[in-house]
Amino acid sequence: MSANEKAPIKAIGEVYLTKEGMTFHEVSEVVCKVTENKAPRNWWIAFFIASSFTGVLGAAIGYLFWQGVGVWGNNAPVYWAWDITNFVWWIGIGHAGTLISAVLFIFRQKWRTGINRAAEAMTIFAVICALMFPGIHVGRVWFAYYMFPFPNQMALWPNFKSPLIWDLFAVSTYFTVSLLFWYSGLIPDLALLRDRAMGMLGRVGKIRRTVYGALALGWRGSNRHWQNYERMYLILAALSTPLVLSVHSVVSFDFATSVLPGWHTTIFPPYFVAGAIFSGFAMVMTLTVITRAVYGMKSVITIRHLELMNKIMLLTGSLVGYAYAMEFFIAAYSGNPYEKYVFMNRAFGPYKWAYWTMITCNVISPQLFWFKRLRTSIPVMFAVSIVINIGMWFERFVIIVTSLHRDFLPSSWGYYRPTLVDVAIYSGTLGFFFTCFLLFIRWVPMVAIAEVKGVLPEADPHAAEETHDAKLEDGAALAPGE
């Protein structure tokens, strides 16, 4: 295809969301081959490392259950530390997926198609990691089910006034909807994989046909299917959109509704949501930069996608920076001595190293993206995305630990130090996350093939009129799914 053929698109001011001149077949090939070819050596190395850490996670949780929460560094007054820090961090990371899928879908941001699948998968895995912590951090895990409202002979219900209960509902709802959304988006692509396996020989082909066939739920790509599918997808997107805002708002209520200075702040819901989007995009960026390099997806996930994500990071990073500044302003303006002390203590107290790490990572580093050269540079954005994830972890650490360690009565002040088990469990969840993600890119199309095809110029119903000699290699021009 020559550039001339695509000229009308440029003429109306649109830009290509994939490499110029990509065809449907090329998209299918690029994405599906990853699941059909043998896994590259680097995949195995990464999988080995990640699954080792998953093993560490299992061992550490076993030890935790056997001994009790005392194997962590948590103490009085820092009753919550890395456990809840990790929980909020993972939930935050889990935000980008739904945002990209649902919110950008509703706003017709077509550029989302290149990254939404991986982002949604990441969301699912991050939320699983997050959900682990409320479960394992309680003192008596074998009674954690008391949190659920189930009829019982004690006639006892959970305390619906407790933000932890709101949290439980918010996060589990979010997880359920995200999972459904992800899976429903996968159906056409799973059907494509099933169909591609038709010609495969041997047992591999049979297994693939069976498994993908079952998961594809009998998708035939008929007009009626598409009609229903698009409707459902829109409904789920509409359901998910408020969740993006609500989940982290509710998570922030865990802190905001308490009496603790440093937690008791009305700014928390928007501040937490901005932070969550910020960290979620950073994590998507980290993963996308790697996978697109490793699997040669540069044609599908273009530099333009990455640049747009960087712009969002710049925005949310600055929002978060504004929130940090606002907290100080309110502390000073309120005249509340406890509030004042907590914020001065954050910045200049024993945990000042954590605070300034946070500021450097979250507020200063995204400012690099004001410069086009930097926000389109792969090494820079990769480094910054990792730095942001570190910074966002520290943000939660700073909020939780520095507020707790010095509250009202100086007699009860303390200092928190993590233990090896804390480190093992945190690194273990990272291992678990990457294990899941590696399995995902190995067996599931990591780019939403159907949706990418849908934003190719050929998918435009009028494309054929304008380019009469368009080569439609797959013979499925009107139906991106096969």
Partner 1 sequence: MKRAPYPTEAPREGQKAVWKSLGDKRNPDAAKEAAKSELLTPITLSRRGLLGLGAATAALATEGCIRRPVEHIYPYTKAPEYVIPGVADHYATILSRRGELVGALIESHEGRPTKVEGNEEHPTSLGSADLLMQAATMDLYDADRSTSVREKGKRSDWGAFDRALAAILKTSQADGGARVRVLVRPSSSPTLLRLRTLAADKFPHTRVHSYTPIAESNSREGARIAFGQAVVPRHNFAFAKTIVALDSDFLHGEQGALHATKGFVHGRKLDRPSDPMSRLYVVEPSLTVTGSNADERLRLPASEVDAFARALAAEVAKHAIELGSVKDAVADAKAPEGTERFLTAAAEELAANKGKCAVVAGRRQPAHVHALVHALNTALENVGHTTSYAPVVDVTEPADLGADLKALADDIDQNKVDILLILGGNPVFDAPSDVKLAEQIDKVPTSIHLSSHFDETSEHCTWHLPMTHELEAWGDGRAFDGTFSIQQPLIAPLHDGRSVIELMAHLTDEAPRGHELVRATFRERAATPARFEGAWKTALRLGLDAGSNSVRFEAHATLDEVAAAIKKAPLAKSIGPSNLEVAFAPCNKIHDGASGNNPWLYEVPDPITKIVWDNAALVSPATAKALGIESEDVISIARDGSKTIEVAAWVQPGQADNSITLTLGWGRENVGRYGNGRGFNVSPLRTTKAMDMMDGVHVSKTGKTYKLVQTQDHDRMEGRPIAIDATLDEYKTNPQFVLFPNEEEKRSGSPTPRTLPLWDRAKYEGHKWGMTIDLNACTGCNACVVACIAENNVAFVGKEQVYRGREMHWLRIDRYFIGESEDEPEVAFQPVACVQCEEAPCENVCPVNATIHSEEGLNDMAYNRCIGTRYCANNCPYKVRRFNFLEWRGPEGAQQRVQDTYQEIPETEKMAFNPNVTVRMRGVMEKCTYCVQRIEEAKIGSRREGRAIGANEIKTACQQTCPADAIVFGDLNNAKAEVARLARSDRGYALLAILGTHPRTTHLGKIRNPSPALHHHREAPEPTKPALGKPPEHRTPVETPK
Per-residue binder mask for partner 1 (CB under 8 A), 272-311, x = binder = ----------------------------------------
Residue 55 contacts partner 1 per CB under 8 A: no
Residue 262 contacts partner 1 per CB under 8 A: no
Cα–Cα distance between 245 and 266 in angstroms, integer? 15
Q: How far is CA 348 from the centre of its chain?
A: 32
The answer to whether residues 171 and 131 touch, using CB atoms and an 8 Å cutoff, is yes
Pick the closer one to partner 1 by CB: 333 or 415.
415
Which of 280, 275, 286 has the alpha carbon at shortest distance from 383? 286
Phi and psi at residue 242, in whole multiples of 5°? -65, -30
Residue 40 contacts partner 1 per CB under 8 A: no
Residue 68 contacts partner 1 per CB under 8 A: yes
Count other Cβ atoms within 10 Å, centred on residue 453: 27
Residue 258 contacts partner 1 per CB under 8 A: yes
**What tokens were used for 439?**
């399995």
Count other Cβ atoms within 10 Å, centred on residue 342: 24
The answer to whether residues 290 and 109 touch, using CB atoms and an 8 Å cutoff, is no
Contact residue for partner 1 among 218, 242, 337, 475 (CB under 8 A): 337
Three-class DSSP category at 168:
helix
Please give the DSSP secondary-structure letter assigned to residue 361: I
Residue 158 contacts partner 1 per CB under 8 A: yes
> Min. distance of Cβ 259 from partner 1 in angstroms?
5
Residue 149 contacts partner 1 per CB under 8 A: no
Three-class DSSP category at 43:
helix
Please give the DSSP secondary-structure letter assigned to residue 455: T
Phi and psi at residue 225, in whole multiples of 5°? -55, -45
Residue 204 contacts partner 1 per CB under 8 A: no
**What tokens were used for 41?**
């050596």
> Min. distance of Cβ 94 from partner 1 in angstroms?
21
Residue 165 contacts partner 1 per CB under 8 A: yes
Residues between 351 and 380 that touch partner 1 (CB under 8 A): 351
Residue 246 contacts partner 1 per CB under 8 A: no
Pick the closer one to partner 1 by CB: 25 or 340.
340
Region from 36-44, 152-160, 221-229, 468-476 binding partner 1, contact rule CB under 8 A = 152-160
Residue 137 contacts partner 1 per CB under 8 A: yes
Residue 408 contacts partner 1 per CB under 8 A: yes
Pick the closer one to partner 1 by CB: 201 or 409.
409
Region from 195-203, 319-327, 335-343, 428-436 binding partner 1, contact rule CB under 8 A = 335-343
Q: How far is CA 87 from the centre of its chain?
A: 13
Cα–Cα distance between 319 and 311 in angstroms, integer? 12
Cα–Cα distance between 110 and 308 in angstroms, integer? 12
Place of tokens 């004001």: 370
Residue 147 contacts partner 1 per CB under 8 A: yes
Residue 259 contacts partner 1 per CB under 8 A: yes
Amino acid at 24: F
Pick the closer one to partner 1 by CB: 148 or 370.
148
Residue 338 contacts partner 1 per CB under 8 A: yes
Contacting residues toward partner 1, per CB under 8 A: 66-71, 73-80, 137-141, 143-144, 146-147, 156-159, 161-165, 168, 254, 257-260, 337-338, 340-341, 344-345, 348-351, 404, 406-415
